[in-house]
Amino acid sequence: MNRTNPWPTTRITLLDQIRNADDRAAWQQFVDLYASIVYRYCRIRNMQHADAQNVTQEVFSRVSRAIQSFEYDQERGRFRGWLGLITHQQMLRYREKQARAKGIRNGQDHSFAGAFEGEVEGEWIDTFNTHVYSRALASVRESTEPDEWRAFERIWTDGEQPGDIARELQRDPQWIYQVKFKLVNRLKEEVERLSADVAIFHRPSVAQ
């Protein structure tokens, strides 16, 4: 395993696979990984549940079309930023469409309109990072023995003292430290794997 550039081909392969319209498994994996980020961001931006779902569907419809023009380019922006930009723009379009349906002219939220020009907006990054950490934590938990996870959760999440945990679990304190060291490293690796999204490629136009 190359620790300095963890799992780079995984992301490249997944993005390459979804360019094949017949590879439904790859597309489902892609949606499973990113759809909840888009939906959560819409909700943070005060969209109702149904509206956030609609925007999420529209975002991935646009991604499906635009992905055909992707070519990997390490020097350009990251995929997460490009996805955030699409989400941002689609939210604006959706709000404008709703405003027109209500007969409201110029219904755009101007305080939000330029937030993604040239860089990823802070709230999107926070949403992305929160999602990655949650997914990483869940992944580590699924592959950890229950007694190890209980010890790790109490020392890592609850902030309890190792000695207290060791006495309650009737374990040697050294075992507690070993579990913490092992699972912290696994958590870091999983965060790196999930967040190592590939750079964008001939940055395709998102105004489609």
3-state SS track over 159-197: CCCHHHHHHHHCCCHHHHHHHHHHHHHHHHHHHHHHHCC
Cβ neighbour number for residue 11 with a 10 Å cutoff: 19
Task: Tell whether the model's pLDDT for residue 110 goes beyond 80.
Answer: no
Q: Within a domain: residue 66? A: yes
- Above pLDDT 70, what percent of the chain? 75
Q: Within a domain: residue 120? A: yes
Task: Tell whether the model's pLDDT for residue 206 goes beyond 50.
Answer: no
Question: pTM of the prediction?
Answer: 0.69
Report residue 207's pLDDT band, with 50, 70 and 90 as the boundaries: very low
Domain that holds residue 166: 8-195
* Domains held by the chain: number: 1
Q: Within a domain: residue 200? A: no
Cβ neighbour number for residue 176 with a 10 Å cutoff: 23
Q: Within a domain: residue 2? A: no
For 44, residues 6+ apart whose C-beta sits below 8 A from its C-beta are 123, 127
Report residue 186's pLDDT band, with 50, 70 and 90 as the boundaries: very high
Q: Within a domain: residue 92? A: yes
How many residues in the chain?
Answer: 208
In angstroms, what CA-CA distances link 47 with 33, 63, 97? 21, 21, 14
Instruction: Report how far residue 26's alpha carbon sits from residue 22's, in angstroms, rounded to the nearest whole number.
Output: 9
Q: Within a domain: residue 202? A: no
Q: Within a domain: residue 201? A: no
In angstroms, what CA-CA distances link 82 with 67, 86, 197? 11, 6, 11
Instruction: Judge whether 191 and 134 are in contact, CB under 8 Å.
Output: no
Note the pLDDT tens digit of each residue in 124-171: 888 888 888 998 999 999 999 999 999 999 999 899 999 999 999 899
| DSSP structural state of residue 204 | -
Note the pLDDT tens digit of each residue in 33-76: 889 999 999 998 889 999 999 999 999 998 888 777 666 555 55
Q: Within a domain: residue 140? A: yes
Instruction: Judge whether 151 and 179 are in contact, CB under 8 Å.
Output: yes
